[in-house]
Amino acid sequence: MQRGDTSREGLVYDWNREQGAPRTIGEFDLFDESLRDGLQSPSVADPSIEDKIRIVELIAALGIHAADLGLPCAGPRAFADVKALVEHIRDQKLPLEPAAAGRTVVSDMVPIAEIQQQTGVQMSAYAFIGSSPIRQFAEGWTLEKMRKTSVEAIEFAVKEGLNVCYVTEDTTRSAPETLRELFLAAIEHGASRLCVCDTVGHATPDGVRRLIAFTKEVIAESGADVKIDWHGHNDRGLAVINSLVALEAGAHRVHGTAAGIGERVGNTAIDQVLVNLKIDGVIDWDLTRLVEFVETVARATQVEIPINYPLVGADAFRTATGVHAAAIIKAKRRNDDWLADRVYSAVPAGEFGRGQRIDVGPMSGMSNVLYWLEQNGEPTDEELARFVLDRAKSSPRTLTDDEIRAAVSDYRTLSNTGS
């Protein structure tokens, strides 16, 4: 069979696509929340400004359009960090729209306006207020009070020249009549975006479709040109699929954080959204630095990436199973990295700057050991390989490289002594 791309047609039958059609998504962009909502996790560390600058550079390098840089109303350090990041975006001419968040109160909008004035860079203000009946009950808010404070904050921000996104927290548990009144008031007073929030991770894909459709109807009713954001959390484990469904339903922007960091079980993992959009053929961005981005955020926030985390985890492209390893090794023997990346993986490691790894453990076969010996400059001797495999079979877990080297050394010692 020829090695051209045409020879690979039909090697993967894709039930995800009807007659090979790509996921149907209109024009959209992505919004990174790692430095705002991600830092609201009680378990993360607030990175140094040097680390934040590096993170912002990687966000831009990945093709992500915009980023929430923080809550400048939170205090002097928060204000200084957001300002420094905006200045870096300006000075380095990074293709990144800077945004900051605050409550829908004028005092929270003031620092964002000050940063825009001091840096000369157009800012977007994400002004949020809880909109669900359970939140209203807990806070003792009336709809009239919510509408009044929202309008005051939006009017101030617009007067100061900020782009305003009106964020209704807990939208996915909010009543349609409440949302309609708040949305129309926000649009009337100058909001150019509405952010639909799954603040507690309540939504299912069906709920996402209905809510985005409802929001589109309200915008059409207003007659204004207003964009829709989707902001999801992962409490039910549905954040990534909900974000993809939101895009299909007509959202213009979806939010996420590196590795899904955030409150409780976290936000939508923006890296997983990118992986899925790439594999589905929706985007053709260079994502070879995606792993670096997630690892950089993890180090800066002192978050440990689970070993089985998609794409970035240590086990994402690692196998010690004999049958799996044998298939990958056969592909590598044919110098076919495309095949090696796909024969036992739905995510092609090479497209994201990673590669397949073959280890040796109790589920391994001879092919694992022989391949390890070859890759590590050891003779591919079958007796040696059998000795190492026997050591692996008696182990309760996969051997480390050092343990395999120790087995090789033990074999040589025994061979030299004639034992």
pLDDT in tens, 154-164: 999 999 999 99
Q: Are 127 and 164 in contact (CB under 8 A)?
A: yes
233-291: pLDDT as tens digits: 999 999 999 999 999 999 999 999 999 999 999 999 999 999 999 999 899 999 999 99
Going along the chain from its start, the domains and CATH numbers come out as: 18-301 (3.20.20.70), 318-417 (no CATH)
CB 354 within 8 A of CB 373: no
Alpha-carbon separation of residue 8 from 1, 37, 339, 343, 355 (angstroms): 10, 42, 9, 12, 20
Confidence (pLDDT) at 12: 87
Which regions of the chain are under pLDDT 50?
A: 1-4, 6
Q: Which residue has the tokens 């952010």?
A: 195
User: What was the pLDDT predicted at 415?
Assistant: 87
Model pTM? 0.93
How confident is the model at residue 17, as a pLDDT? 78
Query: In whole angstroms, what is the distance from residue 350 CA to residue 333 CA?
Result: 17
Report phi then psi at 185, rounded to 5.
-65, -40
**Number of other residues whose CB lies within 10 A of the CB of residue 40:** 15
